[in-house]
């Protein structure tokens, strides 16, 4: 039996076969692996985006907590950052004393976070009540000040002469913060 295929058909068949092979090769060699990679990348991206959303939420929570803390402790934070001004201290507290003298400020301790300065104070009060009121006022002052031992009370006529040490605390959170110098302190 003789198969009679024309030259035209042979061309047609050849081109068809070539195209088919090209399409199959292109699909299996490039398109399908790329598609798989795309799918993997999309899943990975969604996972990362989800993680980021969680992280963003956590970030917002921490930020909210920080703002709340800053709001609640505004006075304390300002007090820790405030530079001790002996003139202002005297002005604010002279009502409790007949006389109030503040000595030079000297650094007593410096850990990584807080610096403590000591200042010696001599004063005259008319009654111990003034001293109690002064201690109450110190807690409401613009600085973080603790009144330290030793505290001396000595009767001098109608007045009581008192001498004590105060410790002023500063936050060392900012290295650029201006630290009080001796020149700033009242004699």
Partner 1 sequence: MKYSYITPRPKSAFTAEIQLLVTFFSITLGMLFITYFFLLFKDYTFLSDMDELAVVQSELSVNIKEMKEQITFIEKENLLAQKVYTQNTVLKDSIANLFDLVPQRITLSEAKLLENGLVLYGVTPNKDIYNFMLQAPLRSIFHRTYSSFYPAQNGWLRFVSTNYIDEEINLSQEIESEN
In 8-127 the beta strands, taken as DSSP E runs, fall at 99-110, 114-125
In which element (H, E) is residue 160 found?
strand 159-171
Q: Does 89 bind partner 1 (CB under 8 A)?
A: no
Rounded least distance, CB 187 to partner 1, Å: 25
Under the binding rule (CB under 8 A), the answer on residue 49 touching partner 1 is yes
> Who contacts 104 (Cβ-Cβ below 8 Å, separation ≥6)?
119, 182, 185, 187
Determine if 155 is a binding residue for partner 1 (CB under 8 A). yes
Using CB under 8 A as the binding rule, whether residue 10 contacts partner 1 is answered as no
Cis before 150? omega within 30:
yes
Q: Measured from the CB atom, is 102 or 160 closer to partner 1?
A: 160
Considering beta carbons, is residue 1 or 28 the nearer one to partner 1?
A: 28
**CA separation for the pair 18, 12 (Å, rounded):** 10
Q: Is 62 in the site for partner 1 (CB under 8 A)?
A: yes
Q: Is 110 in the site for partner 1 (CB under 8 A)?
A: no
Interface with partner 1 includes 28 (CB under 8 A)?
no
């Amino acid at each position: 039996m003789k198969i009679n295929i024309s030259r035209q058909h042979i061309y047609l068949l050849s081109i068809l076969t070539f195209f088919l092979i090209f399409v199959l090769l292109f699909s299996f060699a490039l398109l399908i692996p790329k598609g798989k990679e795309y799918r993997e990348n999309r899943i990975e991206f969604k996972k990362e985006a989800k993680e980021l959303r969680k992280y963003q939420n956590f970030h917002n929570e921490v930020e909210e907590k920080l703002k709340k803390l800053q709001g609640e402790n505004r006075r304390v934070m300002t007090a820790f950052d405030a530079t001790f001004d002996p003139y202002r201290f005297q002005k604010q507290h002279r009502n409790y004393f007949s006389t109030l003298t503040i000595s030079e400020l000297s650094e007593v301790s410096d850990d990584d976070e807080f610096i403590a300065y000591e200042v010696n104070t001599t004063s005259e009060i008319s009654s111990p009540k003034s001293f109690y009121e002064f201690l109450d006022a110190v807690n409401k002052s613009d600085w973080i000040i603790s009144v330290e031992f030793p505290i001396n009370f000595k009767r001098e006529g109608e007045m009581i002469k008192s001498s004590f040490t105060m410790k002023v605390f500063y936050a060392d959170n900012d290295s650029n913060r201006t630290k009080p110098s001796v020149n700033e302190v009242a004699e």
